[in-house]
Structure 1
Amino acid sequence: MWTEMAKPLVLTLGEPAGIGPDITLATWLLRTQRGIPPFYVRGDAGSLARRAALLGLDVAIAEIRAEDAAASFADALPVVSTGLKATAAPGKPDASSAAAAIGSIEQAVADVNGGRAAAVVTNPIAKSVLYQAGFRHPGHTEFLAELAKRDGIVPQPVMMLWCPSLAVAPVTIHVSLRDAISQLTTELIVSTARIVVEDMRNRLGLARPRLALAGLNPHAGEDGALGHEDRAVVAPAVEMLRGEGIDARGPLPADTMFHAAARKTYDCAICMYHDQALIPIKTIAFDEGVNVTLGLPFIRTSPDHGTAFDIAGSGQANPSSLIAALKLAAHMASAKTA
């Protein structure tokens, strides 16, 4: 899926008390078997070494410079220090957790912007832990958009969830359902769809992406009988997109959009709210789904799961989603530079 890259990927530490360290170590051990592109971790080598010892994993860890990561990857898990210690035990975030997680993200983005890495892949964070430390963003996606700010302008980030058989992008993300409905506008739908199309063209190699726009209401509003939003808000967005030469159709009843035959008719489903997008892809590819942030000047992917405190340090964590995220990031980086 990926071609040889000139630069490695940078992987963030994530929540140190979660399964991020577990799946990072497991992924490096599978580097040859699963054809994993070279990456390095921005984090604390000591915390990874302690987790490896707890799990009984024979992982050599090399604390190196980012410039040396690709050459080191075959023989050791490369770690570029953030200078921030992570002391939390599995399942038990501590006072070091928030700073270690945030510092890793900030420095990983700086590495990509500085030309030291090809793309950012982020391990899961625990938002509740970050909130207690004063973190003011709803999640990873919005924080990354803030880090991408240029000349005072914050880009619109679009969250796309991807697996080989389905890609979905919610128009509204980390807000309540009530707020999602009130925030939904024709302009927001159109701007979201434009970003999806641009990045699918430039970073995923699709010359003419096909979009299917879900209706907000059951049966896409049943011609107004079940709500006015689909006729008044979603349908005009579809017409605007078509007028721009974008292959878009809808609004479509969401309950018939995600079966196997329907999925073959489009490249990305544009959904109106968080669960409308995430339920189908997590049902289809719970262990292999990838979270991709579109609309940023750098590439970012992530496993499509959380910190799983209950199994951290137990050896039960499945690295498949992280492996898929690394491979997709490498593919996108290769497409961007091709």
Structure 2
Amino acid sequence: MSTSTKPIIAIPMGDPAGIGPEIIVKALHNPKIYEVCSPIVIGHRDVLEKAMQVTNVLLDIHEIKDSSHGKYEYGTIDIISLNNIHVDSLEMGKVQAQCGQAAYEYVETAVRLALHGKVSALATAPINKESLKAADVPFIGHTEILAALTKTDDPLTMFEVRNMRIFFLTRHLSLKDAIATITKERICDYLIRCDQALQRLGVNKRTIAVSALNPHGGENGLFGTEEIDEIVPGMQMAQERGVHVVGPVPADSVFHHALNGRYDAVLSLYHDQGHIAAKMTDFERTISITNGLPFLRTSVDHGTAFDIAGKGIASSVSMEEAIILAAKYAKNFQFSHQ
């Protein structure tokens, strides 16, 4: 892929019964998107046309078979359309097996394009866990699908909002199970990988803060010993490997300091610890980045919003930010044509 051209960003449409199609057409109605990249939707033409009707967005649709055939002009949506939805039976805002299967196939197609150097990055729209299950798709979400399709072991999830970056030691686990996975070996491994991910994103001098698990960092064992037994030893192991890491910093202050520039990233120990911090900072502009894959993937950090799907009222800010962030970082990822 020529470095002289704008990056081609693949946008899998997500669950057709959710807000994905609506926020995509709204996002691609923003000329700024075309200033920074060449977007291509992987989805279903008829669903996209329905989304334009409910959002009152008037754009041309250019159906293509390969990313090299795109016009990539503002006013036109380039789409690789998969004939995998019976639009007459599509019910907006409802869990449907055909939608779960279609959403999976959109991601699968986008991954194939990325692995063959046809697109620079992925910016994904939301999928629905229940719809995937109804379709017997054996994955709980995007990260797990991407890991399987690329044969990647345990990809890293990172949030970026404003100038704050948050990595997650654990994702979809109960709090009890998440705490059980906090070992010094895992802490060390993740810190090394977080450092490598930041370097790949172009962050040269890197300081990573580890969030504490217990109140006030455990107060030397008064409120829990995980910091003493596992977290600090894991940090020391990473420091010996050259990672600049500080902490553990109490969770009630570490994200505030990161937002103000003291740290380049924070390692959150469990799902809600980092999610709350990011979404309270700016819900719509919290973007998820999956690191460790052979290519870059960004995503909106909200769900399919079945309660408002089909009404044309969903905000496209997060989708726009995900595409723009994919374009921003795409140049740091090298692809080889296969």
Interval of TM-score (by shorter of Structure 1 and Structure 2):
over 0.9
Q: Which residue of 1 aligns with 2:31?
A: 31
Displacement after TM superposition at 1:6 (Å): 5.0
Q: What residue is the counterpart of 1:241 in the other structure?
A: 238
| Partner Cα distance (1:263, 1:141) in 2 | 29
Aligned mate of 2:132, from 119, 130, 133: 130
CA distance in 1, matches of 2:40, 2:314: 20
Distance in 1 separating the partners of 2:67 and 2:15: 25
Alignment of 1:169-188 (within 5 A): 169-188=167-186
Instruction: Give the direction of change, closer, same or farther, for the CA distance of 1:160–1:234 in structure 2 (3 Å limit).
Output: same
The residue type equivalent to 1:144 in the other structure is L
Query: In the alignment, is the contact (CA less than 8 A) between 2:258 and 2:265 conserved in 1?
Result: no
Deviates more, 1:66-75 or 1:249-258: 66-75
Distance 1:147 1:337, change over 3 A: closer
Q: What is the Cα deviation at residue 304 of structure 1?
A: 1.1
User: Is the aligned partner of 1:206 residue 2:208?
Assistant: no
Q: How does 1:147-166 map to 2 (within 5 A)?
A: 147-149=149-151, 154-166=152-164
Map 1:245-256 → 2, pairs under 5 A: 245-256=242-253
User: SS of the residue aligned with 1:160?
Assistant: strand
Choose which of 296, 302, 323 in structure 2 pairs with 1:305.
302
Change (3 A) 1:262 1:232: farther
Name the CA distance, whole Å, in 1 between partners of 2:86 and 2:125. Answer: 14
Q: Which of the numbers 228, 235, 241 marks the counterpart of 2:225?
A: 228
Instruction: Tell me the CA shift for residue 250 of structure 1.
Output: 1.1
Deviates more, 1:277-286 or 1:7-16: 7-16
Q: Which runs of 5+ in 1 are unaligned?
A: none
- TM-score with structure 2 length normalisation? 0.92
- Contact in 1 for aligned 2:27/2:33 (Cα 8 Å): no
Query: Residue 273 of structure 2 corresponds to which residue in structure 1?
Result: 276
Partner residue of 2:122 out of 120, 123, 129:
120
The Cα offsets for residues 89-138 of structure 1, whole Å up to 9 and x where unpaired, read as: 32124342011100001110000001111111111011111112223223
Amino acid of the structure 2 residue aligned with 1:14: G
Aligned residue pairs total 331
CA distance, structure 1, for counterparts of residue 21 and residue 35 of structure 2: 20
1: CA distance between counterparts of 2:178 and 2:166?
A: 17
Return the alpha-carbon distance in structure 1 between the equivalents of residues 299 and 207 of structure 2: 24
Structure 2 CA distance, aligned partners of 1:180 and 1:264?
Answer: 28
Partner of 2:83: 83
Which of 110, 120, 137 lines up with 1:108 in the alignment?
110
TM-score for the superposition, normalised by structure 1:
0.92
Give the SS at the match of 1:92. Answer: coil
State the distance in 2 between where 1:253 and 1:72 align.
47
Q: Return the alpha-carbon distance in structure 1 between the equivalents of residues 291 and 95 of structure 2.
A: 30
How far apart, in 2, do the equivalents of 1:24 and 1:272 lie? 32
Instruction: Judge which range, 86-95 or 266-275, deviates more.
Output: 86-95
SS in 2 for 1:168: strand
Distance 2:186 2:149 in 1: 21
